[in-house]
Structure 1
Amino acid sequence: MADHADDGNEGGGGDRDIFVYRGGLAPQHVTHVRIDKSVEVIDEDAFNCCEDLVHVETHDRIRRVGERAFFGCKSLRNIDLRSVVEIGEDAFYECVSLTDVQFGNKLETIGKYAFIQCTSLEHLNLTSIITVKTWAFRSCKALTSIKFSERLETIELNAFCACERLRHIAIPLKRDLFTFNPELQEYNQFSRCEQLTTVDLVGGAHNKTIASLHMDSWRTEMIAEINRINQVLPNTPADEKTESIKRWVDSVIDGMDHYKAEHHRYVKEALTLLELALWKAKLDEKEENFAEGGTKKKAKLDAESVRKEKRVTCGAGTVIRNILPFLKLE
């Protein structure tokens, strides 16, 4: 069901007609659309090839955009999808005038070919996305920057292939972000992105870990390794950029794992030495007291019981927690 409505002016004498969408397929001639508040899913093919569609007014209860819902809507300029959880396959295929899409903090999945050849789309702020499917943003030739969040888990094959002006991406520090092409034996998520030169890490976990490392040299080395990608990437061939990013992510994670292990080894040694020092100090004090007030035999027996007690209750744990806050690593 779908109805027409005026633009809200008194008497119904608006400058244009607004089509109220309540489900199903819309007429091909619509230019301005209001999605009725009863609609939670924009159906498959709902506005397929509505080439005159310019504006869509959404609401905060829409959960899904169906397959090919706005396929070939060549005049559509912007759309608010802040409540949407999933965008289906081919949903905005070849929406060549689309410059701005507002994604919210609920979006989890962008389907195959969802925004392929949206040649006017310039920026992506994907604050909650978990999965970007195959070819989702292929040939978005005006796209210059992409920001993901720590929730990102997978970018599938060719997702951003041939985004010729893409210069900057921000990704989380995670292994296996990129799926592998077994036929070509390569990672090609950013294939043919000649201008991709800058990669930043999102989330603060890596910064906290680096700041907590015990040695200054370790911290310096890890910061240098994180910065290395932006020195290497400008000179990396376009078809090798994804592979280079993948190797860099693995290298940073491996480095952090290595230095965390070294950190904990040093801490364990320090704890052991501290425990022995405290135990010896307590033992010496106790033996002195015994020597002053009793026989040597009694002192020896009591000393053995003190050793046994101090192995368990030397108090070292309390001292460490108070003076070595760097022990706890993310």
Structure 2
Amino acid sequence: MADHADDGDGVGDIFIYRGGRAHLHVTRVVIDKSVEEIENNAFDGCEQMVHVETHDGIRKVGGINLKSAIEIDRAAFYCCRNLESVEFGENLEIIGGTAFHGCSSLERLNLPSIIVIEEAAFYNCKALTDIELSERLETIESAAFRACERLQRIAIPLKRNLFSFFVRHDHNQIYNQFDKCDQLTTVDLVGGIHTTVASLHMESWKTEMKETISRINQVLPDADQGDKIAIIRQWMDSVIDKMVHYKAEHYRYVKEAITLLELALWKAKLGAREDNYAEGRTRKTKTDVECARRERRVICGADTVIKNVLPFLYLE
């Protein structure tokens, strides 16, 4: 029977794990070379844990709960080939380079708050099929999901320059986040893009945006594996460009609608008083006209309506 963590040694702020359940207060954990199996939930409740260092002799890793982790250091679970599941929390922001490299039993990822995925973080995770990423995500570095040969779907936010490149010896910029991901056929968008599309002024704009967004999943199944990242990047740029265009059109219509609303309120609430006021002031200066306009907006209620309605007509 393996020694429990209670029998482990603390070296500074590093805890040497020898089996069982880890102490709740640990922050940095080194898996002792005597450990061949890490049991399920070995680190449950370790809310202060920020670092786990493994070794090549581990044969089995149970489901690991990393709900409290903010950052997973480089190579933390490198080649833990029997690691099947990891539960990530809403605090995790950074996954270090090669952190899960070679975790060939890991099947699914849900990273609800991730901001940065460093180079080769999930390289050669052969069983990985589905990835759900955060709207907060800013960077996916090179080879992050390279050789995930069973990967079928990834959900990502709509952002320019989401994928970073590395510079080859011939000075070419290379994007290889999904190289050797032959089965990648579906890309979904996370975040507020769908709400924004639904709020567009014209039905034809909504239809065209939906078609543009869904086009990637028509093209990707037939693409060569080496072209997938280029196709995804081009598609994201096209969606963003079209969204920017229709947002500008939407704002133009909003401004026109506000002007019409203002005129309608003047007409409905001022009536004859408006006409008499205009006849009595045939020679207004520009300043007088603007002052009169502001006064009429207050009198007819346009200021109140516009202030409360206008924010709902604009798009995120």
Class of the TM-score when normalised by the shorter of the 2 chains: 0.7 to 0.9
Q: Which of 57, 73, 85 is matched with 1:100 structurally?
A: 85
Match of 1:200, SS? strand
Whole-angstrom CA distance in 1 between matches of 2:34 and 2:235: 44
Q: Is 1:300 matched with 2:300?
A: no
Conserved 8 A contact 1:89-1:112: yes
Residues 287 and 182 of structure 1, relative CA distance in 2, 3 Å threshold: same
Q: Which of 187, 190, 208 is matched with 1:202 structurally?
A: 190
Match of 1:34, SS? coil
Q: Is 1:327 matched with 2:313?
A: yes
Match of 1:171, SS? strand
Q: What RMSD over aligned residues (CA atoms) do the two structures have, in Å?
A: 2.9
Q: Which of 269, 274, 288 is matched with 2:256 structurally?
A: 269
* Superposition TM-score, scaled by structure 2 size: 0.84
Gaps of 5+ in 2: none
Q: Which residue of 1 aligns with 2:134?
A: 149
Q: Deviations over 1:143-187 (max 9, x none)?
A: 101111112111100011000000011111222211022324232
> Matched residue pairs, number?
301
Larger radius of gyration: 1
Q: Which residue of 2 aligns with 1:223?
A: 210
Whole-angstrom CA distance in 1 between matches of 2:98 and 2:275: 81
Match of 2:281, SS? helix
Q: Which residue of 2 aligns with 1:74?
A: 59
Q: Which residue of 1 aligns with 2:37?
A: 53
Q: Deviations over 1:97-132 (max 9, x none)?
A: 111111111111111111111111111111121111
Conserved 8 A contact 2:251-2:314: no
Q: Which residue of 1 aligns with 2:221?
A: 234
Q: Which of 252, 255, 263 is matched with 2:239 structurally?
A: 252
Q: Which residue of 2 aligns with 1:12?
A: none
Whole-angstrom CA distance in 2 between matches of 1:27 and 1:275: 71
Whole-angstrom CA distance in 2 between matches of 1:118 and 1:215: 47
CA-CA distance at 1:215 after TM superposition: 0.7
Kindly report which structure 2 residues correspond to 1:135-214, keeping only aligned pairs within 5 A, or say none. 135-183=120-168, 184-203=172-191, 205-214=192-201
Match of 1:124, SS? strand
Residues 142 and 287 of structure 1, relative CA distance in 2, 3 Å threshold: closer
* Percent identity between the two aligned chains: 49
